[in-house]
Structures are given as structure tokens and as C-alpha cells.
């Protein structure tokens, strides 16, 4: 736009309407410079207007792009409830054209029964200005589409209600999103229980390594003794065959010495005793295992934490490549309340971690310290390994946090143990022992809440 000459504007210049011929030269100069000033002012004004206009256009483009791209339905109303602007998403849904909607009452977007409710909400908002949420249907060519609609007042610069902004999301979409959320929540839950089961299987694996090791001894003992018994039987068979054949007394005495039967009779006793000892050891081991597994899910009962800790620690150490020295301090019996099978899993996790921590160190030692104090049963599992570095202290109870290599650590042991302890109304904490290995304290109620 080019500015008009000031002569064409018809603007008052403030000059006297005198005839030029009668004016002195100075007056002319004054007139001309006034014209110049006015002209310059006008140019300024014009430039300012153009800048403002460009800004307005930017703003408009910005708003238009928002209206075009929001996926939620957006409707801007004036104070009377007439449509000022709508988003492209609304146009797409309602099948209407923007021009056809502008200036119309918002009621025409919804079925009549919803129109009344919407009008009520707008009325209330004019008074109390408090945003509201309501469910209503949007009339579309395919029939009503349920929306969750938020209605907020639009205030002018003096804080008066100038209109309303309505935003809505199709409920179908919300419901679908909710269903998806539920589904992924379920998937997460089942993944979690799978992980817990895997961790259980891993500790079962460690347990079995210990069992195999433990059974090996008495079984080979039984086997060796059975083998010896076989040999003795052979000798006695030879002897009795000669008796049957009617051998002379002297012959028999000689044979008896040759076969060293007198000594073998004592050995025979020892062999049967040995075989029985071995078999009893096997029976004890099986008994132990049965106790370990049968308490798995079970009822909450009063049980001996010291005994559970001893059995669990024993089996973990049996499964260890190089078993550290185990010391057990404190009273031989400590009453606790809960599910012994679950508590045993905590002890196995703690002892396994202690064993891992001292692995490859000379003089590795694991200590269990038991204590019964003021209605609580306490067990501390400590080791003389490197301890837990300060920078990971906060993370070790997190699921999947592990500093061990793949296949050695799942990072679930402590998080599961903590969960079990808390389910029992107890605590599991890392004790502060700067510079001297790690110590974990398991604290459990000594008695059930009911007594």
C-alpha cells in the first residue's frame, strides 16, 4: 500500500484557508513543512499498521493451524452460546462446513435432549465460571457419537465471561484407550509374576545343585558298602559250599583263615551299619527338602526363624562353588510369625548374595546373627565382601537392578525379598557398615497380629 498524497486525504491540516497569492514567503515555508510532517507521520502510521496487520495474520495462521490439527473436538462460543470457531476435527465428524456453523447456536450440534443439558451448563458457567465436564452426543451423519466434553469459560481482559471453550474427546476413543491400558496392565502383571517365578526357579536351581552335592556323599557311601557286602557274601558262599561238600574240620579251619572270615564278620557289621547310616542321611535330606517345599505357600504360622535360616543357608552353601565359612550367632531358637517357605526364600537370596560377594576372596565368611527383641524376630546376614558402593545403595532393592553378569544375576532377589518382608509386616534393610562388607537386616514380627 502506498500512502496517498496528503492533498487527497481530506485530513484537516490546521492551515488557514488563505489564498496563496496573499501569503508571504515564510508562511508558505511553514505550510510546506507542516505538509511534510503530516506526510511523514502518515507514512509512519501506515508502516505501523502494516506491521500489526502482519502480526495479526501470523496469529490467525497460528490459531487456524491449531484448529486444523487438534484431534480433540474444539468449539469456541460467544457469550450467548453461538459458534465462533470450530476445529477441523469437529467439521470432519459433523460433516458440516465452517461457514454454515459460524453464528449458529451450539445446540444444533447435539441432539435435542443434550442441547437442554448443555444450555444449563452454560448458564451455570456464566454465573460461577467453574469449568465443567459432561457427557453428551455429537450429531453426525452416522448418528450420535458420544463425547466427553469439557466446558470452560472464556474471560475478557476485565475478567468477564466473553464466551466459552468446549473441548471433547470421543468416548469410544477413550474407552478404547482405557481397554488398551487395562490390557497392557494385565500383560505387565503376568510378566511380573513370570519373573517372580523365574527367580523362584533360579533359587530352586541353586537348591538342586546343593541337593545333588549333598546326596552324592551318602549314596556313594551306601554304594561302597553294598559293594563290600557283595564281596563278603562271595567269601561266605565259598565257605558254605565246602561245608556242604563235607570238608574236614582242619580244611575248614584253614579255609576260614585263608578267607579271613573272622575279620570279615566284623567288617560285615560295619558295612551294614555304614549302609544304614548313608540311607538315614538320604532320608534326612529328603525330610529337610520336604520341609523346605511344603511350607511354600501355606498358612501363616509361628515358626523358628533360626531353624529356617540354618536350613536355607546350609543349602545355598552346599550349592556354592567354593563355600565360604558360615558362622551362626545368637539364640538357637527365635520365634517369628509368617510363612516359613517365603522367609526361607529371603534367607536364600541374602545368603546367595553374600556368597557371590565373597567369591574369589581369601577367607570369605558369611555370618547369620539372630536376635529376639521386643516382639520382633531379627536376622542379619553379613559378609566380608566389598560391601555395597554408596552410588548403588539407593538402587539395589529396585527390580532388575544387578551388578552381576547376565546369567548370574536377575536383579530380582532383593526386590522380591523386600516385598515378602513387607507382606509379613516386616522390613528388609541394608545396614550401614562403611568399609566392612555388606549386612542386611531382616526384621519380622514375633507374633501374628491376632496374637
Instruction: Confirm or reject binding of residue 146 to ligand ADP (CB under 6 A).
Output: no
Is 368 a binder of ligand ADP (CB under 6 A)? no
Give, to the nearest 10 degrees, the angle between helix 340-358 and helix 413-423: 150
Q: What is the helix (H) or strand (E) element at residue 173, kind and residue range?
A: helix 171-244
385 binds, among Mg ion, ligand ADP, none (CB under 5 to 8 A by kind): ligand ADP
C-alpha cell at 302: 509361628
Determine the Cα–Cα distance for residues 447 and 451; give it in Å rounded to an integer.
Answer: 6
**Considering the rule CB under 6 A, would residue 295 count as an interface residue with ligand ADP?**
no
Q: Which residues have a Cβ under 8 Å from the Cβ of 392 and sit 6 or more positions away?
A: 401, 403
Show contacts with ligand ADP in window 35-64 (CB under 6 A). Answer: none
Binding partner of residue 396 among Mg ion, ligand ADP, none, CB cut-off 5 to 8 Å per kind: ligand ADP
Q: Report which of 207, 184, 193, 209 is spatially closest to residue 412, judged by C-alpha positions.
A: 193
Nearer to ligand ADP, 83 or 428 (CB): 428
Separation of alpha carbons 396 and 415, rounded Å: 8
> Does residue 379 touch ligand ADP according to CB under 6 A?
no
Which positions ≥6 away from 88 have C-beta within 8 Å? 67, 68, 69
Q: Single out the segment in contact with ligand ADP by CB under 6 A; choices: 113-121, 290-298, 328-336, 405-413.
A: 405-413
Q: Which of 218, 340, 385, 413 forms a contact with Mg ion (CB under 5 A)?
A: 413
Q: Is 380 in the site for ligand ADP (CB under 6 A)?
A: no
The least distance separating ligand ADP from the CB of residue 195, rounded to whole angstroms, comes to 11
Rounded Cα gap, residues 350 and 26, in angstroms? 107
Q: Which does 426 bind (CB under 5 to 8 A by kind): ligand ADP, Mg ion, none?
A: none
- Contact of 176 with 116, CB cutoff 8 Å: no
Tell me if 401 contacts ligand ADP by CB under 6 A.
Answer: yes
Site for ligand ADP in 414-443 (CB under 6 A): 414-415, 438
Q: Which range of residues in 27-35, 58-66, 368-376, 408-416 is near Mg ion by CB under 5 A?
A: 408-416
Instruction: Specify the stretch interacting with ligand ADP by CB under 6 A; choose among 46-54, 188-196, 223-231, 379-387.
Output: 379-387
Which residues inside 169-208 make contact with Mg ion, applying CB under 5 A? none
Residue 319 makes contact with ligand ADP by CB under 6 A: no
CA distance 299 to 340: 9
Phi/psi-derived region of residue 234, left when phi > 0, alpha when psi is between -120 and 50, beta in every other case: alpha
Q: Does residue number 413 form part of the binding site for ligand ADP (CB under 6 A)?
A: yes
Q: Three-class SS of residue 408?
A: coil
Q: Using the rule CB under 6 A, is 388 a contact of ligand ADP?
A: yes
Q: Does 346 bind ligand ADP (CB under 6 A)?
A: no
Q: Which residues pair with 447 in a beta bridge?
A: none
* 255-262 contacts at long range (C-beta below 8 A, 24 or more positions apart): 259/235, 261/235, 261/236
Q: C-alpha cell of 10?
A: 481530506
**Which residues make beta-bridge pairs with 169?**
148
Q: Which does 301 bind (CB under 5 to 8 A by kind): Mg ion, ligand ADP, none?
A: none
Q: Which residues pair with 417 in a beta bridge?
A: none
Asked if 354 is part of the footprint of ligand ADP (rule: CB under 6 A), the reply reads yes
Using CB under 6 A, pick the residue from 115, 313, 396, 420 that binds ligand ADP: 396
Q: Judged by CB under 6 A, does residue 365 bind ligand ADP?
A: no
**Nearer CB in complex with ligand ADP: 209/255:** 209
Does 409 help bind ligand ADP (rule: CB under 6 A)? yes
Beta bridge partner(s), residue 137: 146
Stretch that binds ligand ADP, among 22-30, 80-88, 97-105, 346-354 (CB under 6 A): 346-354
Q: Applying CB under 6 A, does 410 fall inside the site for ligand ADP?
A: yes
Task: Output the CA torsion 68→69→75→79 (10° steps).
Answer: -70
Q: Of these partners, Mg ion, ligand ADP, none, which one is at the site of residue 403 (CB under 5 to 8 Å by kind)?
A: ligand ADP
User: Are the beta carbons of 238 and 189 closer than 8 angstroms?
Assistant: no
Q: Report residue 210 CA to chain centroid gap.
A: 32
Q: Decide if 381 contacts 305 (C-beta within 8 A).
A: no
Tell me which residues in 326-385 interact with Mg ion (CB under 5 A).
353
Measure Cα distances from 402 to 153, 210, 396 in Å.
Answer: 53, 24, 7
Q: Which of 404, 422, 431, 447 binds ligand ADP (CB under 6 A)?
A: 404
Chain residues binding Mg ion by CB under 5 A are: 353, 413
Chain residues binding ligand ADP by CB under 6 A are: 349, 353-354, 357, 383, 385, 387-388, 392, 396, 401-404, 409-415, 438
Amino acid at each position: 500500500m502506498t500512502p496517498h498524497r496528503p492533498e487527497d486525504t481530506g485530513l484537516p491540516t490546521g492551515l488557514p484557508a488563505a489564498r496563496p497569492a496573499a501569503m508571504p514567503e515564510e508562511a508558505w515555508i511553514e505550510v510546506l513543512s507542516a505538509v511534510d510532517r503530516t506526510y511523514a507521520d502518515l507514512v509512519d502510521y501506515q508502516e505501523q499498521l502494516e506491521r500489526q496487520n502482519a502480526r495479526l495474520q501470523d496469529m490467525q495462521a497460528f490459531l487456524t493451524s491449531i484448529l486444523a490439527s487438534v484431534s480433540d473436538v474444539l468449539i469456541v462460543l460467544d457469550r450467548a452460546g453461538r459458534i465462533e470457531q470450530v476445529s477441523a476435527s469437529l467439521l470432519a465428524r459433523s460433516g458440516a462446513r465452517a461457514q454454515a456453523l459460524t453464528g449458529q447456536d451450539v445446540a444444533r450440534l447435539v441432539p435435542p435432549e443434550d442441547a437442554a443439558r448443555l444450555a444449563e451448563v452454560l448458564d451455570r458457567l456464566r454465573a460461577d465460571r467453574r469449568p465443567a465436564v459432561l457427557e453428551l452426543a455429537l450429531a453426525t451423519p452416522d448418528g450420535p457419537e458420544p463425547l466427553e466434553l469439557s466446558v470452560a469459560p472464556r474471560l475478557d481482559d476485565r475478567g468477564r465471561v466473553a464466551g466459552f471453550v468446549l473441548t471433547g474427546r470421543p468416548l469410544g476413543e477413550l474407552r478404547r484407550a482405557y481397554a488398551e491400558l487395562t490390557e497392557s496392565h494385565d500383560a505387565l502383571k503376568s510378566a511380573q509374576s513370570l519373573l517372580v517365578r523365574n527367580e523362584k526357579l533360579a533359587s530352586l536351581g541353586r537348591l538342586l545343585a546343593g541337593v545333588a552335592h549333598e546326596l552324592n556323599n551318602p549314596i556313594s557311601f551306601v554304594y561302597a558298602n553294598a559293594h563290600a557286602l557283595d564281596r563278603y557274601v562271595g567269601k561266605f558262599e565259598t565257605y558254605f559250599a565246602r561245608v556242604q561238600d563235607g570238608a574236614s574240620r582242619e580244611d575248614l579251619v584253614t579255609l576260614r583263615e585263608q578267607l579271613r572270615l573272622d575279620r570279615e564278620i566284623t567288617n560285615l557289621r560295619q558295612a551294614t551299619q555304614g549302609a544304614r547310616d548313608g540311607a538315614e542321611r538320604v532320608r534326612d535330606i529328603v525330610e529337610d527338602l520336604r520341609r523346605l517345599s511344603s511350607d511354600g505357600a501355606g498358612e501363616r504360622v509361628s515358626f523358628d526363624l533360626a531353624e529356617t535360616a540354618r536350613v536355607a543357608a546350609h543349602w545355598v552353601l552346599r550349592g556354592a562353588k567354593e563355600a565360604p565359612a558360615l558362622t551362626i550367632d545368637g539364640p538357637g531358637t527365635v520365634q517369628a510369625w509368617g510363612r516359613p517357605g517365603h522367609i526361607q526364600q529371603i534367607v536364600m537370596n541374602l545368603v546367595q548374595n553374600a556368597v557371590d560377594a565373597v567369591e574369589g576372596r581369601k577367607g570369605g565368611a558369611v555370618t547369620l546373627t539372630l536376635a529376639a527383641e521386643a516382639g520382633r524376630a531379627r536376622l542379619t546376614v553379613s559378609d566380608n565382601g566389598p560391601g555395597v558402593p554408596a552410588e548403588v545403595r539407593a538402587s539395589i532393592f529396585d527390580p532388575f537392578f544387578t551388578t552381576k553378569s547376565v546369567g548370574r544375576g536377575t536383579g530380582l532377589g532383593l526386590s522380591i525379598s523386600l516385598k515378602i518382608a513387607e507382606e509379613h509386616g516386616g522390613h528388609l534393610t541394608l545396614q550401614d557398615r562403611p568399609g566392612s562388607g555388606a549386612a542386611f537386616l531382616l526384621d519380622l514380627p514375633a507374633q501374628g497380629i491376632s496374637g
